[in-house]
Chain A
Amino acid sequence: AQSVTQLDSQVPVFEEAPVELRCNYSSSVSVYLFWYVQYPNQGLQLLLKYLSGSTLVKGINGFEAEFNKSQTSFHLRKPSVHISDTAEYFCAVTITHSGGSYIPTFGRGTSLIVHP
């Protein structure tokens, strides 16, 4: 079965410091990879995605992620965080489900806490 592991449940960091949120997945087949962000009391919104092509993908709000097929990882990075980046971040992976349906599986989330 497909699984997604977010290695840190909580990441505290000071404002303007760099941050990396880690995501590993288990799959031997081609996958599509996503990062979503959830601000307090809101729904999730797409931060960035990897479908194919360049392994380094850039998203909104200065975030980027690198797909590493050999390590089955898709870590999220930002060189300098702001207070407003405080949120819950979810990694998600899609493989083809039986019957041709496309079912995203989510990690448990990483809470990014940016301190002034």
Chain B
Amino acid sequence: DAGITQSPRHKVTETGTPVTLRCHQTENHRYMYWYRQDPGHGLRLIHYSYGVKDTDKGEVSDGYSVSRSKTEDFLLTLESATSSQTSVYFCAISVGLAGKVGELFFGEGSRLTVL
């Protein structure tokens, strides 16, 4: 089974501070994703990666950046956190058929509160 670890699981920070969320997978899955979940909006894609150093923007990428220097790690950074970025963040990997159907395995989520 695929394993994903997100850290931190909970974080409270202040407006204007930088925040980095980490997603670590235990297998060599190529595709990794960061989503945010907000009431009434479902899951919205922030950024995704299709390989080491290969990333692209999703529908709500403003205010976020990502990096993937190793296959197993996908980092999401909020350069200067704002209250609108208070959310639950989920990392996911695409499993099955070399990741080419979008079947996702999710981490447990990181709850971020920006005061």
How many chain B residues touch A (Cβ–Cβ < 8 Å)? 28
Residue of B nearest to A44 (CB): B106
| Contact of A94 with B101 at beta-carbon distance under 8 Å, contacts A44-B90, A44-B106, A102-B31 already known | yes
Closest to A109 in B: B42
What 1/0 mask marks residues of chain B from 35 to 62 whose CB sits below 8 Å from any chain A CB? 1000011111100101000001010000
Give a binary string over A18-61; 1 marks a CB under 8 Å from any B CB, 0 the rest.
Answer: 00000000000000101010000011111001010000000000
**Chain A count of residues within 8 A CB distance of the other chain:** 26
- Shortest A102–chain B CB gap in Å is 5
Assess the B43–A106 pair: CB atoms within 8 A. yes
Contact A42 B108 (CB under 8 A): yes
B11 to chain A, nearest CB (A): 16
Q: Nearest B residue to A106 by beta-carbon distance?
A: B43
- Complex-state Cα separation, A36 to B94, whole angstroms: 14
Binding site for A on B (CB under 8 A): 31, 33, 35, 40-45, 48, 50, 56, 58, 90, 92, 94, 97, 99-109
Not counting A42-B109, A45-B106, A51-B97, a sample of 4 additional A-B residue pairs whose C-beta atoms are within 8 angstroms of each other reads A90-B43, A99-B56, A104-B33, A105-B45
A-B contact list, 17 entries, CB within 8 Å: A36-B104, A43-B106, A43-B107, A43-B108, A44-B92, A44-B106, A46-B105, A51-B97, A94-B101, A99-B50, A99-B56, A101-B56, A103-B48, A104-B33, A106-B43, A108-B40, A108-B41
